[in-house]
Structure 1
């Protein structure tokens, strides 16, 4: 009897335990969201874009250089009668200006910056238009001498003046020619004597085409094989296009021009400016009136010869220290071919310009 009671109690306990367990396990578990399989990418930083530094170019030629020479421009007055030819150092000039002086002969203002020859000459005296030619360079000016008013004008224009007559270093008489056709210059001596205000490279004086074929003569000009100039009855230079060398070769009265070392005188660009030339009150030792080419505050017509082609242009010059601006027929600035430039100042009255097809 007791055994039966204990059995019933044990069964009741088991049933109660089962009910409790059933109550605890009957509630469904809360589901957990599964991973989606996507991840957020780590932020990335774009690689820096590097721009190559522009290729430096020589300021007075537009030609590419590894570095611009850290020196000022040097303008040298060089004579050009037959007795002075062939001249030394003429082919190393970046720019050469040709002007008419007394007696109708021509003289040069040769400008150096990217290259320096060992010797330059024969060096002669300055003239009244030289400050307007060289002042925009803000550099050095070398001459054998000249009238006091013209030398003072060179200094007043902001140029540093060096003169043989003043006894400045770098000048010497040499060679077989008689005086005054035998003054030559060592340009290194002048650069050594340059003051602190005249050691900076010049600003460009002309515009240059950025790529081949974009010169103004190519876009707006016509083909030409040569240009004949008459500066005066005794000064008649000419230029002929050399398609192989791609330069204009100079002749003096029909004779090919060479420098003292035998190298032909050539130019990448020939710029012809029609200018007014007037007689001043001054005279030379022979009694001839000293002419002046009027440039500052003036304008006129002209011609540019580049890459075997020519184009008519107009030119304008503001103040004495401003460079000459060249304008194409469509009103855009003239773009030359990078290289050496000769500027021919042809009088409007007595001079002439003939393009050879």
Structure 2
């Protein structure tokens, strides 16, 4: 049997072929998974809501107090007298700003400025003095008065204000019976004066002081020292005092030791009292009784004291011109801001008066 040895050789070849196929299969490794292409979704822009508008309430320019609405009308500066026999006066409790000045004989007179409130009646109304233009001119409004030397009246008219003079026949003045004899019985109605404002004097006044938004943000509250009493000597006749009242947060006025009130019965009070040390000079004129008429010098610079909210602060005041607004500066040179509310300005003679804080 010559062909028998060929069979093992065929079997071996088959085995080798199978091994080669198996190794090849193992070398190729496991099958790779199919790749998936991810499609990015388009970006959607979401509109952002606008922030709510900040609502800033309007504020009365002479007090800095917020209001639902501020009436556009001029300020009215009224000359009101202050000897003992005419107290209590009418309307002082409704003024935004009150200036106190020394006149002849050591008595004082007020320049009461009305804007945010409308008193039914004010008085007794008296005559003007040579320092009144420097007080009234920055208001660009109306000055109501009864009498005055012609030179004083002329200077006041030249300062840019509108004059409402009882002697000049302006409406709104009358003599009130049963109070005092003439000339201490002239009273007036501010509504009538407002109605007669001319086109050049019908706008609201500019702010006369810088005010903080809140009392606790005012310069006196943040930089001042504790105080409860402001004792002033304007003359031998006039010694007003201001005492801090914690309950109301205001300074209450007294004439000497007597509490000062208005005819309404309301106590005269202020959020801020500004005591300015000023020069008092002879105006070169005399009143009908022959007394020299003094003039307070308000154009220039000087020292002062401001009390507000149970604190006091020494300041420097400056007023470069008759129609310029008075500015107050703190010891560090920064502008002084007052607490919103009524302000009284006391013009204290530097040479003969005094300012005592305790």
After TM superposition, is the score higher than 0.5? yes
Q: 1:222, CA displacement in angstroms? A: 1.1
Q: Does 1:168 align with 2:170?
A: yes
TM-score by length of 1: 0.88
Q: SS where residue 335 of structure 1 aligns? A: coil
Q: Does 1:206 align with 2:209?
A: yes
Q: 1:174, CA displacement in angstroms? A: 0.3
Q: Does 1:269 align with 2:308?
A: no
Counterpart Cα distance in 1 of 2:148 and 2:125: 11
Aligned residue for 2:341?
A: 339
The answer to whether the Cα contact below 8 Å between 1:83 and 1:181 also exists between their aligned partners in 2 is no
Aligned residues: 324
1:1-357 superposed matches below 5 A: 36-176=38-178, 177-296=180-299, 298-356=300-358
List 4+ stretches of structure 1 deviating above 6 A: none
Q: CA RMSD in A?
A: 1.4
Counterpart Cα distance in 2 of 1:352 and 1:254: 17
Q: 1:35, CA displacement in angstroms? A: 6.6
TM-score by length of 2: 0.88
The answer to whether the Cα contact below 8 Å between 1:101 and 1:291 also exists between their aligned partners in 2 is yes
Q: 1:230, CA displacement in angstroms? A: 0.5
Q: 1:220, CA displacement in angstroms? A: 1.8
Aligned residue for 2:26?
A: none
Counterpart Cα distance in 1 of 2:99 and 2:353: 16
The answer to whether the Cα contact below 8 Å between 2:157 and 2:163 also exists between their aligned partners in 1 is yes
Q: SS where residue 197 of structure 1 aligns? A: helix
Counterpart Cα distance in 1 of 2:291 and 2:91: 29
Counterpart Cα distance in 2 of 1:43 and 1:341: 55
Counterpart Cα distance in 2 of 1:145 and 1:34: 102
Structure 1, unaligned runs of 5 or more: 1-32
Counterpart Cα distance in 2 of 1:212 and 1:143: 34
Post-superposition CA distance 1:296-332 (Å, at most 9, x none) = 2x10000000001111111000111111110011111
The answer to whether the Cα contact below 8 Å between 1:78 and 1:110 also exists between their aligned partners in 2 is yes
Counterpart Cα distance in 1 of 2:199 and 2:206: 17
Aligned residue for 1:18?
A: none
Q: SS where residue 332 of structure 2 aligns? A: coil
Post-superposition CA distance 1:92-137 (Å, at most 9, x none) = 0000000000111000000011001000000000000000001000
Post-superposition CA distance 1:228-281 (Å, at most 9, x none) = 101000011000000011110100021000000111001110000000010111
Q: 1:82, CA displacement in angstroms? A: 0.8
Counterpart Cα distance in 2 of 1:224 and 1:186: 38
Structure 2, unaligned runs of 5 or more: 1-34
